[in-house]
Structure 1
Amino acid sequence: MDIAVLTIKIALPGCRSLKEKRQRMGGLHERFGRHPSIAVCESGDRDRHEASEWSFVVAAASSREVASLCSDIEDKLQRTVDGRVMEATREYL
């Protein structure tokens, strides 16, 4: 079994409240947390309006599957979040 931690930092320009931040992030936890190979949480910048950091723990039978799931997460975030992905880091365990 291979495991990776994908951490993504997102800038939310013009965001003025935590309520707006939740709306703009669009339910990441519900969307990705349903997948049996992915655990997700907001891991940083919880009290900042203009930024958000999310961590995804991805586990699969092979490193190829893990890399594919991480890429899928990054692609979906780019398309669905009303913000800019500033940084994405992967740490393989």
Structure 2
Amino acid sequence: MHIGILIMTFSLPGCGSLKEKRQRIGGMHERFGRSLMVAVCESGEHDRHDASEWSFVVVANSKREVESQCSQIEDKIQRTVEGRVVNVSRELL
């Protein structure tokens, strides 16, 4: 069993309220939490309107599967989130 932790930090320029933040970042749970391999949560920047941090925990039978799933998550977020990714960190356990 292999575990990967992917943490992504976003800048949300011009975002003026928590409601707007949810609209721009919203749907992370629905998009990625449906997979039995992935757990997702907003892990930081809770009180800021113009930033957000999300953590994804990926569990799979092989290191290659974990890395592939993390890459897919990153790619999909880059295409769908209305914001700029300012930091990405990965850790394999």
TM-score range, shorter chain: over 0.9
C-alpha distance in structure 1 between counterparts of 2:18 and 2:26, whole Å: 13
Counterparts of residues 4-83 of structure 1 (less than 5 Å): 4-83=4-83
Measure how far apart 1:26 and its partner are. Answer: 3.0
C-alpha distance in structure 1 between counterparts of 2:28 and 2:8, whole Å: 12
C-alpha distance in structure 2 between counterparts of 1:31 and 1:71, whole Å: 15
% identical aligned pairs: 67
Unpaired segments ≥5 residues, structure 2:
none
C-alpha distance in structure 2 between counterparts of 1:78 and 1:26, whole Å: 14
How many residue pairs get matched?
A: 93
Q: Deviations over 1:18-62 (max 9, x none)?
A: 000000013101110000100000000011000000000000010
For 1:24, the aligned partner's letter is R
For 2:61, the aligned partner's letter is A
Which aligned segments of 4 or more residues in structure 1 are displaced greater than 4 angstroms? Answer: none
Question: What is the TM-score of this pair, normalised by structure 2?
Answer: 0.98
Unpaired segments ≥5 residues, structure 1:
none
- 1:92 aligns with 92
Q: Which shows bigger deviation, 6-15 or 23-32?
A: 23-32
